[in-house]
Amino acid sequence: MAVPDDAVQGPAHLVLSASVARRYYLDGRTKIEIAEEFRLSRFKVARLLDDARASGLVRIEIGHPGVVDVELSGRLMEALGLKHCIVTDTPDDDPTALREHLAAASADLLSELVTADDVLGLSWSRAVSAMATKLRRLAPAPVVQLTGALARSVLDNSSIELVREVARISGGPAYFYYAPMAVPDATTARALRSQPEVARTFSLIGSVTIAVAGVGAWAPELSTLYDAATEAERVDLTRRGVAAEVSGVLLDAAGETVTAPLTERMIGINAAQMRAVPEVIGIAYGLGKADAVLAAVRGGLVDSLVTHSTLATRLIGAASGAA
């Protein structure tokens, strides 16, 4: 999605400015060549270069004093073909602190990208919930709940609270429903989906233009859905080749959707609906999620990514090896 020239200059603008500056100052590309590569006007390229110099982004080398690693962000964006990519230079030895840093970066990115013309969709995850606590401003866009509740402790916000809080910040309407992410059987799931409140929210999924979701790997402590599933379901889905989970959608390593009895009792967005959203921002942390992130990108469920430097480096290496 194009960002207006007068939009807040957040992390996506920073990464784009650094990528354009790198092409011009280090690679010796012309402004016309850069404009064609990034699908920008020559005037926009010139303005980005001017901004890069004025802000101090371009000095002797391209750099930025903040926690965003602009070089690694640009490399990962190119390696995976992402729309936007923010990589934070954050130590990964403390998962809680790492999640907080990514939450702040995700909040900044969302504040930059969302306009009043957008419809924002939110899938519950610990990372997305943390992002909501860092959000300070947002254009007045409607906010739509994409998955049922899967809160596992009193410290976790439910899907409903997540949507309400983000809508309060944006000032836009909130569309939510009271239902768990997974119910005991498919019959109950079908009945819940037909309830007026659920059906109304589901009818708005097709209008979502930007969504935010966590990326989970099918392993203990790497996916809230995995942790909430029964042992029999975990074994069954592992045998079916599940490698990733995004908003309750199960994927194998190639990014293909995996259907199973568990998916029949889920209350939330499905794979086709998620792939139809113009931009899905995935938040991922932990080296154990590398294969899951690649599956989510390959499967078209994630278009943009917020992550940290060690995972980004591994993803670039994996993408290069597969090329």
The tens place of each residue's pLDDT in the chain, 323 residues long, gives 444 444 457 889 889 999 999 898 888 888 898 999 999 998 999 999 988 888 888 774 445 545 899 999 999 999 999 999 999 998 877 777 888 899 999 999 999 999 999 999 999 888 999 999 999 999 999 999 999 876 554 334 478 889 999 999 999 999 999 888 888 888 999 999 999 999 999 999 999 999 999 999 999 989 888 888 889 999 999 999 999 999 999 999 999 999 999 888 899 999 999 999 999 999 999 999 999 999 999 999 999 999 999 999 999 999 987 65
Whichever domain contains 56, its CATH number is: 1.10.10.10
Residues 58 and 124 placed together within one structural domain of the fold: no
One domain for residues 60 and 164:
no
The domain total for the chain is 2
CB atoms within 10 A of CB 322: 9
Question: 3-class SS at 278?
Answer: coil
Structural domain boundaries, residue 1: 1-65
Query: Which 8-state DSSP code applies to residue 26?
Result: I
Same domain flag for 182 and 129: yes
Could you give the CA distance from residue 216 to residue 240 in angstroms, rounded to a whole number? 16
Q: Domain for residue 315, yes or no? A: no
- Co-location of 138 and 236 in the same domain: yes
The end-to-end CA distance of the chain, in Å, is: 26
